[in-house]
Amino acid sequence: MKTIIEPFRIKSIETVRTTTVEQREEILKNAYYNPFLIPAEDVLIDLLTDSGTSAMSAKQWAAIMDGDESYAGSKSYFRFKNATENIFGFKHIIPVHQGRAAERILFQFLLSSIDEEGRFNNAGKGKTIPSNNHFDTTRANIEFNGAEAVDLVIEEGKHPEVIHPFKGNMDLKKLEAFIKKYGKENIPVCMITITNNTGGGQPVSMENIREVSKICRKNGIPFFIDACRFAENAYFIKIREKGYENKEILDICREMFSYADGCTMSAKKDAFANIGGFVAMNSEDWYLNCKNLLIITEGYETYGGLAGRDMEAIAQGLEEIVDEGYLHYRIHSTKYLGDKLTENGIPIIQPPGGHAIYVDAKGFLPNIPADKYPGQALTAELYRIGGVRAVEIGSVMFGKYDEKGKLIPADMELVRLAIPRRVYTQSHIDYLIEVFCEIKENKDKIHGIKIIEEPKFLRHFTAKFGLA
């Protein structure tokens, strides 16, 4: 059969309330046209993020009841440790409250010097960290420590309309030229994000991961993977990369991480958990230094800012995510949304990604220039018309200013429709498609957006906007 159905039954529900267009216009004004500032109870379909918003399974909820809240050495930690080691295979696993905590610990260690008393001093200036594409918190943690985050995604990954099976790949020639230009001594780590969130939820091939690893090892540069959506990436490898069609998802995952020296992960994505994450590595020295930072800021090494029940939920979620039947549904249901939007003339990043559909706001709203933030304008209209919350991934999130204060736009102006796992049914998605069709009929009337207040880092979370 061609019909893809949800491979689960709904056992518990949460009611949502509807609002009128007039009410939503007022809510938008009060939120300064920033979807992060809209109260969740006023959102009908929430596609702001797939991070921590998934529905946990009955077995996860049962595991929560078995959580051991001992401060040190809880049995929940050891279940968490065994589950992560089974997939990722690294010698040392450090639990943290979410992915950005893993990034903060890793980059504070890598981009600092340690004095004779064991204290860390910021020393990131002159250091660079390449990736296919750094996402927002990764980039911010690197830049906050004084270093530069550099994106080296392949050229195909910069063009929404171009079809390529692995648009998340890193450009190998650019990586080698980058190392030659900056010097391996100024590159404390090389990273690759799977799937590539900034670039449209696009996968990275096993061949690319392997070749990046070879280049890094040849130059003595540690190689880390941002593993938030590792299982979705593994499924794409299975269905798109020659030689992997008959391999088990778990075996593909293990091979991916065998090429790396460590990883960071937010367990709020592919582990179905509402909170949690970890940083993992093989180096004993790195582990000891990162563990010390963890204890200072997050908690003891066997809980790292998490309750025992959270570690139980993550461990169970990691067992569930490598189920091929679920991944088949996940990828194909996302593709359903992408295909329907395309059929209705809504430009998206092609081919559809894993965890989200990325609408090409630049192509959809060509009358709105980058400095009037077409992606932010489209997120506001999505909420106004349909009560749908999404997020801009463009010049609000990644744009910078030159020395004269002029905007340097991002490569693409996108709106991400991040689909929480096991939360929405096809009728929700069909409603979303209808909302886009209505917006399309009147898109020439959509106003640009201007920034009226912004912080220095991660401005999209808290910035205030107005109509341009």
Would you call the peptide bond into 351 cis, given omega within 30 degrees of 0 as the criterion? yes
Residues contacting residue 181 through CB under 8 Å, at least 6 positions apart: none
Nearest of 75, 81, 456, 73 to residue 300 by alpha carbon: 73
Q: Which amino acid makes up residue 270?
A: D
Would you call the peptide bond into 195 cis, given omega within 30 degrees of 0 as the criterion? yes
Phi, psi of 250 (to 5 degrees): -60, -40
Residue-level pLDDT at 455: 83
Query: In this predicted model, what pLDDT tens digit does every residue of 212-233 receive, in sequence order?
Result: 999 999 999 999 999 999 999 9
Cα–Cα distance, 275 to 97 (Å, whole number): 6
**Hunting for tokens 């906007």 — which residue is that?**
465
List C-alpha distances in Å: 222 to 60, 112, 187, 191, 370.
Answer: 34, 16, 9, 9, 36
Residue-level pLDDT at 114: 60
Nearest of 421, 315, 423 to residue 64 by alpha carbon: 315
- Tell me the two tokens of residue 246: 């008959």
**Chain centroid offset of residue 271 CA:** 13
Residue-level pLDDT at 116: 59
Residue-level pLDDT at 405: 84
Residue-level pLDDT at 384: 96
**Chain centroid offset of residue 217 CA:** 26
Cα–Cα distance, 293 to 104 (Å, whole number): 9
Query: In this predicted model, what pLDDT tens digit does every residue of 248-276 receive, in sequence order?
Result: 999 999 999 999 999 999 999 999 999 99
Whether 157 contacts 353, CB under 8 Å = no
Residue ranges for the chain with pLDDT beneath 70: 1, 113-124
Cα–Cα distance, 254 to 112 (Å, whole number): 31
Query: In this predicted model, what pLDDT tens digit does every residue of 353-394 receive, in sequence order?
Result: 999 999 999 999 999 999 999 999 999 999 999 999 999 999
- Tell me the two tokens of residue 279: 């940083």
Alpha helices in 241-323 (DSSP H): 249-258, 284-297, 308-321
- Domains in the chain and their CATH numbers? 21-50+323-467 (3.90.1150.10), 58-321 (3.40.640.10)
